[in-house]
Chain A
Amino acid sequence: MILVVLPAHLRTLAHVQGDVQLEVSPPVTVCSVLDALEARFPMLRGTIRDHVTLQRRPFLRFFACEQDLSLEPADAPLPEAIASGREPFFIIGSIAGG
C-alpha cells in the first residue's frame, strides 16, 4: 500500500481525514500514484495536475524520502521505501502568497 499525504484543502475536498492509503500496481511512479489517487477521489482531478497536459500545478510539490521529486519525470520509479509503504509520498502546497 502506498501512503499519500495530502494538503489540508485537498483532504477536505476529498472528504478524507488523515493520510490516504492506495493500492498501486508496479511500477510505482508519480504518474501511477496520481492515477490511483484520482480514480479513488475523482473530485481531485485537475487540482494536482492539469486535466489535459497532466503537468503538476505550479504551486504544488512532491516530496518523499527527504527528496524533492517534483521535477523528476512522472514515469520514473519512486524510491522503494515509497513503493513498499514505509515512507509516505507528500503532496505539498508551497508557501506563497502571504
Chain B
Amino acid sequence: MSSVRVLVGTKKGAFILSADGKRQQWNVAGPFFAGWEIYHMKGSPVEKNRIFVSQTSGWFGQVIQRSDDGGKTWDTPGGEKLPKPGEFPAGVSNKFVYDTSAETGKPLTTHQWYDGTQHPWEFKRVWHLEPSLTDADTVYAGVEDAAIFRSTDGARSWHELAGLRGHGTGPKWTPGAGGMGLHTILLDPKNKNRMYIAISAAGAFRTDDGGKTWKPINKGLHSNYMPDPDAEIGHCVHRIALHPSRPDVLFMQKHWDVMRTDNAGESWREVSGNLPTDFGFVIDVHAHEPETIYVVPIKSDGEHYPPEGKLRVYRSKTGGNEWEPLTKGLPQKDCYVDVLRDAMCVDNCDPCGIYFGTTGGQVYGSADGGDSWAPIVRDLPAVLSVEVQTLP
C-alpha cells in the first residue's frame, strides 16, 4: 500500500504529516525550524526522500534547508563543515544574486514602484521551490523580487535565469500588496524545455528553451484594477495548475477570475461560471481526472475569508464553468480563514487525495476526491504552503 507525506510550511515552522494510503490516521512531526517562516517545502519526484525548504526571516534573511532522509534530519546545502582539511565549504546556498547586464555590469533592469517610479530589484525571500522532474540535484526557486533561479548542485548554489527579467517587460512589473513574488513554477513533463511561471503583479510567462528566453502569456486576461484591463503586463495571477497528461491545458486562479487555456497560454478564457465569488488564491487539478479542478473561493480582495463564513471547496468536473460546493466535514459557519496560493495540493493515490491549509492553522484532507473532508491538524501556526508526496 502506498503512503503519503504532507509537507506543511507555516509562519512559525515546518511540519510533516504522514499516513498510509487510507489517509485516516495521521502522524504529525515538527515543528522543524521553529520560529522561522517556511514559505515552501517540496520533495523531489526523483528521490522521494530529498526535500527542499525555503526558510525565511525578517531578521536573518533567507536560508535553504535540505533533507535527504524524508525529513528526519536537515542541513543547509553547502553549509557542512570542512569538506576537506583546511578547506571551507562555500556556504552560498542562500546566496541569490541577480544577474547584471553583461555589457555594462549595471542592474539588468528596474521595475515599477508603487509611486510609478522605477526601482531596483532587491532580493527578499524564496517563495517557491520546484524540484526537477528528472534530476534530483536540479531545483528551481521563485523569489521576491520576482525572478527565477536554478540550482544544479542540490541547492548548494544558485544562478538566475535572467532571460525572464531581461526580456523587456520588467519595467512594467509592479509589486502587489504582498510583494512582487514569483510564486508559481510549472515544469512541463512532456517537454523538458518548457516551463511556466507566474508573478504578482506581472502575469504569466513561458519559456520553450529551458529558461533562456521567456514571453508573456496573458492574452485573454482582464483585470479591472489596471488602467488598460487587457494590457499584456500587470495582471495579478495568484496560481496556475496543470495536469501532467495535458501540459498545454492550464487553469489559473487570478486576483479575480478563474481562467483556462487549452493552448499553453496563447489565449485564456474565463471559466468562473457559477462560483459564489471568483476571487481566491489556490487552484489544483485532480490527479486522475484532468477536467476535474478545485478552488477555494474567497469573498474579496478586501475581505480575505470565505463568503458567508462557510469554508467551501468548489469542484468542477467539466474543466470549469460548472462548479459544485464541497462542504462535508468543513466548517459551515463562523469561519473566517484564508487559504493562501501555495496551500493546496493533490496526491496520486486512488481515490485522489486533496489537501489544503488555512491561515487559522488547520490542514484539511480529503481521501475521496473532495466528497468529504476532515482536519488532519487544527492548531498549527498560519499555513503558508502545503505539498504532498505519494510514496511507494
Contact = CB atoms under 8 A, between A and B. Distances in A.
Partners in one complex: yes
Interface of A: 7, 9-10, 12-13, 38-48, 51-52, 57, 59-60, 93-94, 96-97
B89 interface: yes
B88 A42 contact: yes
Main secondary structure of the interface of B (DSSP, over half): loop
Most buried by A among B57, B59, B62, B79: B59
B391 to A, nearest CB: 28
Contact of A51 (B35, B76, B78, B95): B95
Most buried by B among A43, A59, A96: A43
B264 interface: no
B11 to A, nearest CB: 11
A93 to B, nearest CB: 5
**What 3 A-B pairs have minimum CB-CB distances, sorted nearest first?**
A42-B91, A43-B79, A47-B60
B63 A45 contact: no
B61 interface: yes
A43 B88 contact: no
Nearest to B98: A52
Interface string B56-77: 0111111100000000000010
Contacts of A94: 59
Given A46-B61, A51-B92, 7 more contacts: A38-B91, A42-B81, A43-B63, A45-B92, A46-B62, A47-B94, A57-B61
Interface string B67-110: 00000000010111100000011111111010000000000000
Contacts of B35: 9
Given A51-B95, A51-B97, A42 B79 contact: yes
Contacts of A39: 88
Interface residues of B, number: 24
Contacts of A46: 61-63, 92, 94-95
A52 B88 CA distance: 18
A38 B79 CA distance: 10
A47 B36 contact: no
B58 A96 contact: yes
A57 B90 CA distance: 20
Contacts of A43: 63, 76, 79, 91, 93
Contact of A9 (B60, B79, B95): B60
25 contacts: A7-B60, A9-B35, A9-B36, A9-B57, A10-B60, A13-B60, A39-B88, A42-B88, A42-B89, A42-B90, A44-B91, A45-B91, A45-B92, A46-B61, A46-B62, A47-B60, A51-B92, A51-B95, A51-B97, A57-B59, A57-B60, A59-B59, A93-B60, A94-B59, A96-B58
A47 B63 contact: yes
Contacts of A12: 34
A57 B93 CA distance: 18
B59 A93 contact: yes
A60 B59 contact: yes
Given A13-B76, A42-B79, A46-B95, A59 B88 contact: no
Contacts of B90: 42
